Amino acid sequence: MENLDITVLRALRDWRENGQEALLATVVRTWGSSPRPVGCIMALREDGAVIGSVSGGCIEYDLIDRYTKPGVADALPRQGPPQFVKYGVTADEAHRFGLPCGGTLEVMLEFNPDGRRVDELLRALDAGQLMHRRVRLADGAVTLEPSAHPADLIVNGRELVNTFGPGYRMLIIGAGQMSEYLATMALFCGFSVTVCDPREEFRGSWNVPGARLVTTMPDDTVAGMAPDGRTCVIALTHDPKLDDLALLQALETPAFYIGAIGSRRNSQLRHQRMVEHLDQTEESLRSLRGPIGIYIGSKTPPEIAVSVMAEILAVKNGVPLPRDLDVAHVKDMQDITPNDAANVCFVAHADG
């Protein structure tokens, strides 16, 4: 499964290139609770077909009615400059549209975006390029430009700028049972998944449709993938000959998440081994996570995979985790609950 934004853009391009009218809706502002974040997009075809989401339900139905039924009140146009629509301004509207209590969101609507420009954007994303899409509010004209860094959506009196990136990628070192669970969850979360294992005895039973299986050495695989800020690398073999060099190669890249499974003891040994024999320092290993996973008392492979996927998503979404807290800066340790203390500690998996 690919990144949802790319799925929406592909559908929009195909509709427009087939001569069908469509609009592109972008969430541009939210106040209070909101079911969807700023920057998310939805495409709506003239016959009511929808790809993507701006609210998860009720607002989509309102937009469908207003776009596909010209005679209804507040019917939406099929042409013209972008328009802004606000939902949930009053308590009655919030209830009507199913928004959370106090939630308000504003959506920008673009009518019949140029399919050729959408295709140009998709080709850049498929090539791994991060892109700014600028929409001039006066007439809806679109300008595309490469970007070196992700950025929040910008909207002002002149234009909207939304940043689109290539899909998130996951590289898993090792084709074991837990890798199958993790790869499956990652695919459902929109990641492109590559699994690397040069060991024939482990990859022989691999069976996760949609995940690419490669047999090259892990460090060569990392180098070939050239991880970027939308890539995570997870080592699951427990074999230092496979894991360590791949992790070191990944640490030289801007990958947003790099980690290895193992107990606290094994993680400490890995850390020590890298410092003593692989010329690493405390600073160079700062980004290496291990043991990986949010503490949920996991013992079985599927539960451990859930905890790992949850941590990866939290890091991806910029959510601080208790285990990342520097407990030395906690003024009063007595204020930490037992659950907090467990989460601050590294998770110890079943391998001891």
Each domain of the chain, given as residue ranges in start order, spans 4-164, 169-344
Confidence of residue 186 (pLDDT cuts 50, 70, 90): very high
How far from 69 is each of 50, 78, 212, 297, 340, CA to CA, in Å? 15, 11, 44, 53, 53
Look up residue 184 and give its DSSP letter. Answer: H
Tokens of 260: 């290895």
Phi and psi torsions of 269, nearest 5° = -65, -40
Structure tokens at 63: 């937009």
Rounded CA gap, 243 and 112, in Å?
49
Query: What are 90-148's pLDDT values in tens digits?
Result: 666 666 666 655 568 899 999 999 999 999 999 998 887 889 999 999 999 999 999 88
DSSP secondary-structure letter at 144? E
pLDDT above 70 for 342: no
Cβ pair 286, 316 in contact under 8 A: no
pLDDT for residue 340:
37
Q: Does the pLDDT value for residue 249 go beyond 70?
A: yes
Phi and psi torsions of 146, nearest 5° = -65, 155
Instruction: List the beta strands (DSSP E) in the chain.
Output: 22-31, 41-45, 50-52, 83-87, 104-111, 131-136, 142-146, 154-155, 159-164, 169-173, 192-196, 212-214, 231-235, 257-260, 288-289
Tell me the H-state helices in 154-217. 177-188, 200-203
228 CB-side CA count, 13 A:
13
pLDDT for position 69: 86
Contact by Cβ (8 Å): 46, 20: yes
**Cβ distance 58 to 98 under 8 Å?**
yes
Q: What is the pLDDT of residues 296-339, one digit of tens each?
A: 888 899 999 999 999 999 999 888 887 776 433 333 333 433 33
* CATH number of this structure's domain 169-344: 3.40.50.720
What's the pLDDT score for residue 150?
Answer: 76
* Helix axes 115-126 and 4-17, enclosed angle (nearest 10): 140
- Residue 134 near residue 143 (C-beta atoms within 8 A): yes
Tell me if 174 sits within 8 A of 180, measured CB to CB.
no
State pLDDT tens for residues 259-306: 999 888 888 888 888 888 888 888 888 899 988 999 888 889 999 999
Q: Does 102 or 196 have the greater pLDDT score? A: 196
| Helices marked H in 139-199 | 177-188
pLDDT of residue 208: 92
